[in-house]
Amino acid sequence: MKLKKSIHILRFFSLFLVLGCSKDDSSNTSTEGQITFVKTYGGTKNDSGQSVVATNDGGYAILGYTQSNDGDINDKQDESFDYWVLKFDAQDQLQWQKTYGGSADDRGNAIIQTQDGGYAILGYSFSNNGDVTENAGLQDFWLAKLDANGAVSWQKSFGYQGADSGVSVIQTNDQGYLITGVLDVTASGGQGNTSRNSNRHAGGDYWALKLNSSGDIEWSRFFGGNFTDTPQGVVQTNDNGFIIAGSSDSNDTDISNNKGTYDFWVIRISASGNLIWERSFGGNQIDEARAITKTDDGNYLIAGDTRSSDNDVSISKGAADLWLIKISPDGNLIWENTIGGSSFDVARAIVKSQNDGFLISGSSRSNDFDVNENKGQNDAWILKVDDNGNLEWQTTVGGSNIDFSYGIAELSNGSIIAVGDTASSDGDILENKGFADVLIVKID
């Protein structure tokens, strides 16, 4: 009891120190992180940038989705949602842009550049026509392999009768792919594992599919419990296995130590898809992991958001904070840190910086503590932390409406590109072309 009481006193004292700091504290401000430009692309409907990757020619490629068939979109006829890829060169000039999908709702979530100079794009599709040749029911994972100019080399659908949604894709050491997302296990009737087991699962589970270089399934596994389990990020480990990070509100089946409501739920699986360990991190409120990356010392950094102030979460600064945790290859918590203000602040993506530290993309509604300014409602929020998770600099971008940042990449020259979407037409947003536009922010 004395130990617990001492911990609570220390947490209270730490929170007092945090809340007592002025938002003008120069420790949150740096000469780095200067915005070079803010641009929008789109048409008169809804358009969004979800993911960005630095390309080997010094440029970058963006994946999102578009409902528009006018404005900057010139290759689609209807107003259904399609994947949308925009390729820029090292001078930020648009080289090409293309849409992919069918006549139903198709939305891209993740893009990578493949080792042959092309791209792999993943999301979900309701279509069974156009570029999409197969649909098992409702929405399926839809993966397309593109060449360097954006032409489809091959495409694959994966799913069953329910709502199955692809979230993350990586190219593996053997030139294949690992794709992860949500499997509607209830609707699949338990299908989705290469070899069936008798454990009970329901709702949505983490679904991992190992593919060869042509997109054919080598193995398929799902992991979770009887409630909602949503994977967001994946990395390959040194032994050719994988660590997957996301969130779970289950407390049964594969989840052994739920902390309360949604937790960061992290699993490590072998190269053949067998579960090695699983860990829950968080407090008694909602904690959701959004992204994972490797660190130079052989560990892993996971970014997301937390509404908790207990258990693994030492300090709460507001309604929701950006939460960083560093874990070992065995899943042990090394350190954790919250960043944010008194309102809602979240991380959506994290990448290792070339210049030490990590770059994070997310959104903020705060204008105090770690967040110097709010332009109105949600702002796109871009920040850099050092190797210990301490804030080096941050900046918000937006107008008086809703603005989000989802993806981030560092180019070969050290410039930073963050992408998302915006419904604003003022403040930092010089032009709005429709309901929501793709938002691109460049920082030097």
CA 414/CA 209 separation, integer angstroms: 33
Residues of the chain predicted below pLDDT 70:
1-31, 196-200
Cα-flanking dihedrals φ and ψ of residue 219, to 5°? Answer: -155, 160
List CB contacts of 16: < 8 A, sequence separation 6 or more: none
Indicate the residue type of 50.
Q
Residue 266: inside a domain, yes or no? yes
CA 277/CA 266 separation, integer angstroms: 8
SS3 at position 65: strand
Maximal CA-CA distance, the chain: 69
Q: What is the CATH number of the domain that holds 291?
A: 2.120.10.30
Residue 1: inside a domain, yes or no? no
Residue 265: inside a domain, yes or no? yes
Residue 17: inside a domain, yes or no? no
Single out the residue of 208, 225, 384, 415 nearest to residue 301, CA to CA: 384
Residue with tokens 């032009």: 431
Contact present, 393 and 381 (Cβ < 8 Å): no
Query: Residue 190's pLDDT is what?
Result: 87
Residue 4: inside a domain, yes or no? no
Number of domains in the chain: 1
Q: Which pair of tokens denotes residue 311?
A: 């258990």
Determine the structural domain holding residue 179 and report its residue range: 35-443
Element (H, E) at 10: helix 2-20
Residue 26: inside a domain, yes or no? no
Residue 10: inside a domain, yes or no? no
Contact present, 33 and 443 (Cβ < 8 Å): yes
Sheet-wide strand order for 165-171: 165-171, 177-184, 204-211, 217-223
Q: Which pair of tokens denotes residue 136?
A: 């098992």
Residue 407: inside a domain, yes or no? yes
Query: Residue 95's pLDDT is what?
Result: 98
- Give, in order, the Cα–Cα distances in Å from 203 to each of 185, 188, 246: 6, 10, 15
- DSSP letters for 321-361: EEEEEEE-TT--EEEEEEE--SSBEEEEEEEE-TTSSEEEE
pTM of the model: 0.92
CA 82/CA 105 separation, integer angstroms: 7
Which runs of E-coded beta strand occur in 116-228? 119-125, 140-146, 152-158, 165-171, 177-184, 204-211, 217-223
Query: Residue 117's pLDDT is what?
Result: 98
SS3 at position 179: strand
Query: Residue 60's pLDDT is what?
Result: 99
CA 68/CA 228 separation, integer angstroms: 32
Cα-flanking dihedrals φ and ψ of residue 230, to 5°? Answer: -125, 110
Query: Residue 28's pLDDT is what?
Result: 42
Query: Residue 20's pLDDT is what?
Result: 39
Query: Residue 396's pLDDT is what?
Result: 98
Q: How would you class 23 by CB atoms within 10 Å of its CB: exposed for 0-12, middle for 13-18, buried for 19 or more? A: middle
